[in-house]
Structure 1
Amino acid sequence: MRRPARLETPQWLALAWLLVVVALGWHQWRFWQAPRLDTDVFALLPQDERASIVQRATRQLGEQGERRVVVMLGATEWRVAQMAASAFDQSLTAAHAGLRRAGDGAVAAQALDFYRPWRDALLTDAQRAALRAADVQALVAQALERLHGLNTGQPTAWLADPLNLWPTWWSQRAGLTAARPRDGLLWVADGQRDWAVLLYDIEGPAFRFDGTRRWGDALDEAGRMARICVAADGACAPITVLRAGVPVHAEAGAAQGSREMNTIGWGSLAAVIALVWWAFRALRPVVLIVLSLLIGCAAALSVTVWVFGQVHFLTLVFGSSLIGVAEDFGIHYFTSRLASPGTPRWPLMKHLLPGLLLALLTSVLGYLVLAVAPFPGLRQMAVFSAVGLGAAFLTAVCWFPALDFGTLPGSRMASAVAASLTRWPTLEGRWPWPLLALFAIFCVWGVSRLQVNDDLRQLQSAPPALMDEQMAVGRLLQMPSPAQFFVVQGATPEAVLQREEALKAHLQLNAPAKTGSPGLSALSDWVPSGARQAENRQITAHVEQQVLAEVGHALGESLHRPAFNAAALDLQAWLASPASGAARSQWLGQVGDGYASVVLIRGLASRAQAQTLHALGEQVPGVRWVDRANDMSGLLGRFRVTMGWLLVVGHLVVWSAVALRFGRAAWRAWLPTALASLGCLAVLGGLGEPFQLFNLLALMLLLGMGVDYGIFLLEHQAKEQGHAWLAVLLGALSTGLSFGLLALSSTPALHAFGLTLLLGLALVCLLAPLFRLRPLGTHSDQSQV
């Protein structure tokens, strides 16, 4: 009665795994109807627990502009720029691409109405100084001139603003951007060209991952139509079209990621199919191995979404290379079938299971070490890859013995490759030592030439032309940088506003004359502190009452200044009004026991100027300088050092795991990967490739995958060793092709990752046979070596 039970065990395993696969299929169907995919590069970055306030500031500043697209059309004549802008807007409207022209007129009127009750409390620094030393008689003469018809365009009644103070205050608020209204458009001049500025808001989500360039294609077509319109008018010089905005970059990055994912994923799959067919000359191994890969990727995606709530597009690009790794289990099974064609399927799998489990363990350890680093993106990649490998392994173990029927013909080339191991030398005698000495010299030379690069831009994959346009728009519009700013903290909102005012005054007073004080954009520009409002109210009341008395005496009338809101303009009321739309994201709200805001900087021209601002700004209590790009680059460098030590620890852990199986012979499985890692670094140094965190991460995965090849060669002896060598070569070729395609990625981090693994796997494949044992026939013999 026991024999049938043992035979049915694989069937129960197959059925149980079938239920899991059905659940995965249902989740995949649900997921791809509304995929939760992230394209934000900053989501990949380390989370510094000491900089939570900086992360909040970065997130809010990013959210402010994530739905806005800016287009600038430049020509040598304003008339031509107007014509181009009209043609551009008409083309974009007709395309129905989900870009809606932004209109700020209604918002401006609402802001004017909101501020009107506090007109007497709003003064510029120059107005405050002028009113303190005011010549009342001169002000009376000016007030009379405006009263007699020269007040056209004043935003309020003459009696409510007899000194015409408010237009100047509003003009300074408008100075926060270089664009000015002109003929129904926004206009900027740079001395050579007149630029028409068009603002668009996107409809729908800002981040999409469908592989299309809906907005980008529509903007390209609109630019083409604008150029045709200008050329038809006979304009001498062509127009220049610039585009900027988070949606444009996000769409370009998503489209590029989709292309790379398809290229890497399908390219890897095609390589695996070709190699499996070439080796086994049967459709069954191709179908089963591809099935294990598809199930592995589906399980990886489902578990990643379940754990993280969404998946980053770079995780998918990276995960698509999993196809080149997860097929090793299936290849190893079918090469063993070639070596032992008469062995029943399930006993054969049971015989292979210890080696396959050890290979899975070492590979998963290599992936999971990535999760130690506090990179959200790397943690996703680690979980994705580890789960994908595990699912592919379970598919092979549970289904292959049940679905593998019939004979396996194999190919003469596969037999020749298996037999070639007998002609591969081993490290015996004296001949290897000169070769190893040359290898050591090469490693020392190459590693000494490595140049470290922790620049944050290695994560940037946007097209260079688009980045140039973004920078040009920011320079022309004098847009503040979202990467360099001040964070101002205080116990109360009032304290924050007062410290902002102190910061602006300190920089204005102490900035070097040769660089000047940069433009600052602060909440206190829009909502002065309560103390500053009270002081302004006293100044305006004192001077305006004198002027009105003199003007009333000259006119023979009794003029009375209207009452304004006696209460101070409240920050919370401002935040809740449409007037705060331009700067609302700069208020961070309550942070810990206090409150915080962001002061943005415009016109930052050099690194030296940034260093000066850093030194001056932090002399003001409660003010902190933030250079996001520099901080993140420093953090990448610190984690590069940490991951270097973790790589050393990983080698010790993997060697210990292998030693549990092979005893004193474990070094033969581990050492080829260690030498290959050194050789890979030497090659990178010789090629002049920058050394970064992602090279180390690739070496961590090389540890997990490379040791597998040594394990397979130690696990099998006698006639099985040749077919184990065939499995090693097939696995190395498919993995190398997979990560070789990853090296073609235009994202520098992925390029470095792929190139490092490609070189490392090639070296492991060359070195592993040198350290194998000569066939001894029994496991007990090899454990004594």
Structure 2
Amino acid sequence: MQGGITRLARGLAIAWLLIVLAMIAHQVQFWRGSRLDTDVMALLPTSERTAAADRVLRRLADSVAQEVVVLVGSPDWARTRAAAQRFSQATAQGGTLLQPVDKIAAFDFDKALDFYRPWRDHLLTDAQRQQLQQGNPDQLAQQALTRLYQLSTGPRLTDWAADPLGLWQDWWLSRAAVTRVQERDGLAALSGDGKEWVLLTYHITKPAFSVSGSTDYSDLLRTAGAAARQGDADVRVVAAGIPLHAEAAAAQANFEMNVIGWGSLAAVLLLVWLAFRSLRPIVLVGLSLAIGTAAAISATAIVFDRVHLITLVFGASLVGVAEDFGIHYFVSRQALPRATPPSVMRHLLPGMALALATSVVAYLALGIAPFPGLRQMALFSAVGLVAAFLTVVLWFPLLDRGALRPTRVSNWLAESLARWPRVRADRRTALALGALALFIVPGIWQLRIVDDVRQLQSSPPALIEAQRLTGRLLGTPSPAQFVLVRGATPDEVLAREEAVKAALAPAIRRGELAGFLAISDWVPSAARQRADAALAGRQEAAVRERVARTLGGSIAAPAASPADAVLTLPAWLANPVSGTLRHLWLDREGSGYASVMLLRGLENPAVMSGIATAVNTVQGAEWADRIADLSFLLHHYRVLMSWLLLAGAAGVALLLAWRYGRAGWRALAPTLLAAAFSVAVLGWLGVPLQLFSVLALALLLGVGVDYGIFLLEHPGDGVSWTAIVLGAASTLLAFGLLALSSTPALHAFGMTMLSGVGAVWVLSPWFRPLGRHASQQQAEQG
């Protein structure tokens, strides 16, 4: 029988070796492809209501994913132009890293004129429409005659006859007014904040994300900015763009992964050395951690195709949990020198398996919420734990040869358990629990709850401010708030866009909005085109008649477009003139079509509810606020996870009762008290409670109960306590370092785990049972 078990163990060890070799091959392929994601929005769920708009906005982000925008400004245009030239020369010295893009030359105005010219009489602005509807023909004729006299060096009389009121010219001027950027001395220029600015646009030539955390673009832009200023304090250089955020995220994540991952690994190995004074435990524990991390990355990449940067930062803390299995094994080997490695493993396996199950369930609880990022973290951590566990169980009994002598540290830790107090029905216990309550209750009372999606933002504040300033100066609409318009046909979508603009006209007059970015500005609905053509044609005919009578002759009317001929959306989409706005059209969306309208100048959150109300009065139109939607989802899943956390605690209680009977409460009580303590710490420190804090409590439930399980499995012998102390110390270091993360969500997660694990470490031996367990004799006999 014993030989059969040995052969089975060797067969499983070989099978695990083959799986590990396959993981190594996958790791080589993964890191060569660098399938890493830096987009914060990829972490977030997509609601059914905004799924269509999300696809458009992601397409918009993709179109500028390789673009860096730089604004060079000063109070004087001549100084601005000179500074911009110095900046361009400095970036050119960086080789091909940044390729300049001429935005002025990118739009072919002559081709756009040729495309729209057949529909000249179909295109009116709101102001022109109002002028023609309210204007007296005699007054309009006088204006047209004045314009004719002013064209002595301009268009011929026949051109005037085609457009006597200058409607075509004014329509193009209104289109140009949509952007604040104008051509000046061959440069893209604008004015704002008391400065004259030059807009410089660059295209990056290599991925902004770098596994090494390099900041090539930022370094080059910083050098070029210094060259542009050249000691002139009035010259300001502002750089923004998705590549800069991605580069900053990569650099920060590289730093945090090194600090958290390598820092916690070094701490774990140092603890192992102090406890065992042997190279063998260090090598084998390090091996289990390396295999666990590799398996986690491979599994996440296979399931999700890409691994998010924040997942790697979060996963770096896995080191502080996965080493518990190896440490527990070697502590038992040290305490049982006459026992064989397989017998020690058989003795430890029930408790280790139960501890693994509670930890994996806690990690997988993170994946209940439909957050892609949370599901990545859950899968990453659960697979990493299982892989580390299998490495310990299947390989350690085969690779571990030789005895481990007790050290001064291990003896001291084992003996310290006897000096630890227990919970008793006495005055000292009552005073201790009372002091704990005096800390917990006020802390929870002053706790703040914040469900803000911006808690996931980790870009440097200076870069965020530069992005906001650039958007404000350029008048770029924010993609966070928009209007989603649906219709059965493309023309119905355009008509509903026009209805939305009419509904929001009062907001523009009040200064709450600056305008729109909408397809219907460039392709009006068929009904609007026909109505405008009829209005313009009727008034222009009257104007030509009156002017001709004044001049004493006749003016031939130009050839008009057929009455039913209109500019269609497919024709516009098929022409290059639609390039800059094509991303706002969704093609077929379910049983119909849809488009997105972006709002310009929406900076006051207080007016958004009124704008949302006005938009929702239009059939087929829907106001979408991604920040509000996602923050609501964070709130919803924080509440949901809080209830699931309570259900999980009840489930763990039943599992412990099944295994230990009425003594099961001793494993759960320390974790519940520690959870309350960690929440109180957040309140005292002013760290807001959010979804990630609740998720940390779910993880604490799985990790903390392990300590109670080990003390119930092997009560009073000091060996399990040594393993608990070493494991908890490494877990504290891992999550303590995670609390240093610049990402607010990870910081809150780390703070919750740091205080919670520390508390459960201190409280678990309080609740250990009074009886002693003959674990040593059983293992040696096994």
TM-score range, shorter chain: over 0.9
* CA distances 1:320-342 after superposition (whole Å, capped 9, x unpaired): 11011100000000000011011
Tell whether 2:442 aligns with 1:442. Answer: no
Which of 254, 258, 280 is residue 258 of structure 1 equivalent to?
A: 254
Distance in structure 1 (CA, Å) of the matches to 2:675 and 2:289: 27
Within-5 A mapping of 1:218-233: 218-228=220-230, 231=231
Instruction: Specify the SS of the correspondent of 1:149.
Output: coil
Distance in structure 2 (CA, Å) of the matches to 1:521 and 1:107: 17
**Contact 2:512–2:604 at 8 Å: present in 1 too?**
no
Instruction: Specify the SS of the correspondent of 1:327.
Output: helix
**What TM-score comes out, normalization by structure 1 length?**
0.93
**Contact 2:500–2:618 at 8 Å: present in 1 too?**
yes
Indicate the larger mover: 297-306 or 652-661.
Answer: 652-661
| Residue 681 of structure 1, CA deviation | 1.0
* AA aligned opposite 2:19: V
Distance in structure 1 (CA, Å) of the matches to 2:509 and 2:569: 34
* CA distances 1:129-163 after superposition (whole Å, capped 9, x unpaired): 223424353244245335521349x9x96565444
* AA aligned opposite 1:28: Q
Partner of 2:145: 141
Partner of 1:270: 266
Tell whether 2:196 aligns with 1:194. Answer: yes
Instruction: Specify the SS of the correspondent of 1:691.
Output: coil
| Residue 216 of structure 1, CA deviation | 1.7
Tell whether 2:681 aligns with 1:677. Answer: no
Partner of 2:213: 211
| Residue 27 of structure 1, CA deviation | 0.3
Tell whether 2:753 aligns with 1:749. Answer: no
Which of 704, 708, 711 is residue 709 of structure 2 equivalent to?
A: 711
Instruction: Specify the SS of the correspondent of 2:599.
Output: strand
| Residue 486 of structure 1, CA deviation | 1.6
Distance in structure 2 (CA, Å) of the matches to 1:10 and 1:66: 52
| Residue 588 of structure 1, CA deviation | 2.4
The alpha-carbon distance between structure 1 residues 760 and 529, as it changes in their structure 2 partners (threshold 3 A), is same
Within-5 A mapping of 1:601-680: 601-680=599-678
Within-5 A mapping of 1:212-611: 212-228=214-230, 231=231, 237-430=233-426, 431-508=428-505, 510-511=506-507, 514-515=510-511, 517-547=513-543, 554=551, 559-564=556-561, 567-611=565-609
Distance in structure 1 (CA, Å) of the matches to 2:607 and 2:174: 23
Within-5 A mapping of 1:728-767: 728-767=724-763
Distance in structure 1 (CA, Å) of the matches to 2:574 and 2:191: 34
Distance in structure 2 (CA, Å) of the matches to 1:620 and 1:127: 24
Distance in structure 2 (CA, Å) of the matches to 1:106 and 1:499: 31
**Contact 1:97–1:218 at 8 Å: present in 2 too?**
no
**Contact 2:140–2:165 at 8 Å: present in 1 too?**
no
**Contact 2:518–2:598 at 8 Å: present in 1 too?**
yes
**Contact 2:692–2:748 at 8 Å: present in 1 too?**
yes
Indicate the larger mover: 514-523 or 525-534.
Answer: 514-523
| Residue 550 of structure 1, CA deviation | 6.5
| Residue 215 of structure 1, CA deviation | 1.9
Distance in structure 2 (CA, Å) of the matches to 1:191 and 1:371: 47
**Contact 1:515–1:609 at 8 Å: present in 2 too?**
no
| Residue 504 of structure 1, CA deviation | 1.4
Distance in structure 2 (CA, Å) of the matches to 1:704 and 1:103: 57
CA-based RMSD of the aligned residues comes to 2.3
**Contact 1:24–1:298 at 8 Å: present in 2 too?**
yes
Tell whether 2:181 aligns with 1:179. Answer: yes
Indicate the larger mover: 565-574 or 171-180.
Answer: 565-574
Within-5 A mapping of 1:102-113: 102-104=101-103, 105-109=105-109, 110-113=111-114
* CA distances 1:110-136 after superposition (whole Å, capped 9, x unpaired): 333322222221111112222342435
Partner of 2:779: none
Instruction: Specify the SS of the correspondent of 1:341.
Output: coil
The alpha-carbon distance between structure 1 residues 103 and 576, as it changes in their structure 2 partners (threshold 3 A), is farther
Distance in structure 2 (CA, Å) of the matches to 1:356 and 1:39: 36
* AA aligned opposite 1:108: D
**Contact 2:513–2:601 at 8 Å: present in 1 too?**
no
| Residue 555 of structure 1, CA deviation | 9.0
| Residue 194 of structure 1, CA deviation | 0.9
| Residue 612 of structure 1, CA deviation | 2.2
Percent of matched pairs sharing the same residue: 50
Partner of 2:170: 168
Partner of 1:119: 120
**Contact 1:37–1:208 at 8 Å: present in 2 too?**
no
Instruction: Report the number of matched residues.
Output: 767
Instruction: Specify the SS of the correspondent of 2:107.
Output: helix
**Contact 2:494–2:520 at 8 Å: present in 1 too?**
yes
Instruction: Specify the SS of the correspondent of 1:359.
Output: helix
Partner of 2:93: 94
The alpha-carbon distance between structure 1 residues 289 and 96, as it changes in their structure 2 partners (threshold 3 A), is same
Distance in structure 1 (CA, Å) of the matches to 2:168 and 2:86: 37
Distance in structure 1 (CA, Å) of the matches to 2:705 and 2:210: 39
**Contact 1:75–1:81 at 8 Å: present in 2 too?**
yes
**Contact 2:325–2:352 at 8 Å: present in 1 too?**
yes
Distance in structure 2 (CA, Å) of the matches to 1:64 and 1:279: 56
The alpha-carbon distance between structure 1 residues 288 and 157, as it changes in their structure 2 partners (threshold 3 A), is farther
| Residue 546 of structure 1, CA deviation | 5.0
Unaligned runs of 5+ in 1: 780-785
**Contact 1:60–1:586 at 8 Å: present in 2 too?**
no
Instruction: Specify the SS of the correspondent of 1:511.
Output: helix
The alpha-carbon distance between structure 1 residues 551 and 562, as it changes in their structure 2 partners (threshold 3 A), is farther
Partner of 2:19: 20
**Contact 1:329–1:393 at 8 Å: present in 2 too?**
yes
**Contact 1:545–1:561 at 8 Å: present in 2 too?**
no
Distance in structure 2 (CA, Å) of the matches to 1:399 and 1:461: 40
Distance in structure 2 (CA, Å) of the matches to 1:202 and 1:514: 41
**Contact 1:91–1:222 at 8 Å: present in 2 too?**
yes
The alpha-carbon distance between structure 1 residues 440 and 512, as it changes in their structure 2 partners (threshold 3 A), is same
Unaligned runs of 5+ in 2: 776-782
**Contact 2:715–2:768 at 8 Å: present in 1 too?**
no
Instruction: Specify the SS of the correspondent of 1:271.
Output: helix
